[in-house]
């Protein structure tokens, strides 16, 4: 019997460590993939259609919405982004685990159409640590930092909606916990 992969939705407040953890897992496990998303924004330098994103017009994107082609989609800063069912299905049927990095609304949208999706919330051990991480990145003014911290408080209130919660205190432990979740899913 051919093994199928899993669909995982991962969310975290800004500074929670989501990108770092997922990147570390993907670096050592080629069964973990990001599907290619569709967007209406213009390609940036060196981005290739079908590799980084599928670049489409607003009209084409709206047609895809009407046809129900997306697992989830969102308007982000005036550009539309969506994850096609076809991309998810292609990888899952090939036995790969698809990881979608989405906010809480995105997670809820995916669960509505893919109720078997596994959801993982990654959080810092405290708001103080989260603030240190956000400040440590640099490039944000006090207003932007305050906004991210307010958003984090709202996001933390939704953590119990997720199947798993990883507290990212020690990075190596958080990466190992993420790997253990994937291994557990693969055995079921």
pLDDT < 70 regions, the chain: 1-3
What is the reported pLDDT for 139? 86
Has residue 58 been placed in a domain?
yes
Q: Is 1 within the bounds of a domain?
A: no
Give the pLDDT confidence score for residue 137 in this predicted structure: 84
Q: Is residue 46 part of a domain?
A: yes
CATH of the domain at 71: 3.40.50.300
Q: How many domains does the chain have?
A: 1
Over residues 27-82, the pLDDT tens digits come to 999 999 999 999 999 998 888 998 889 999 999 999 999 999 999 999 887 899 99
Structural domain of residue 154, as residue ranges? Answer: 7-187
Q: Is the residue at 123 inside a domain?
A: yes
What are the angstrom distances between the C-alpha of 166 and each of 64, 76, 113? Answer: 34, 26, 24
The pLDDT assigned to 46 comes to 86
Residue 95 within a domain: yes
Q: Give a yes or no: residue 2 inside a domain.
A: no
| Percent of the chain with pLDDT strictly greater than 70 | 98
pLDDT at 3: 60
């Amino acid at each position: 019997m051919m093994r199928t992969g899993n669909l995982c939705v991962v969310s975290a407040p800004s500074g929670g460590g989501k990108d770092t953890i997922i990147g570390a897992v993907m670096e050592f496990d080629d069964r973990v993939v990001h599907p290619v998303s569709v967007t209406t924004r213009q390609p940036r330098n060196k981005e290739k259609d079908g590799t980084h994103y599928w670049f489409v017009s607003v009209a084409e994107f709206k047609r895809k919405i009407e046809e129900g082609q997306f697992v989830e989609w969102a308007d982000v800063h005036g550009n539309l982004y969506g994850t096609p069912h076809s991309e998810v299905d292609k990888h899952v049927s090939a036995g790969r685990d698809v990881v979608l990095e989405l906010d809480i609304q995105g997670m809820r949208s995916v669960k509505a159409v893919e109720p078997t999706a596994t959801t993982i919330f990654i959080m810092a051990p405290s708001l103080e640590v989260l603030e240190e991480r956000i400040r440590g990145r640099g490039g944000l003014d006090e207003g932007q930092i305050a906004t991210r911290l307010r958003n984090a408080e709202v996001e933390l209130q939704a953590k119990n909606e997720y199947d798993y919660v990883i507290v990212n205190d020690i990075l190596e432990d958080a990466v190992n916990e993420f790997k253990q979740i994937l291994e557990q899913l693969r055995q079921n």
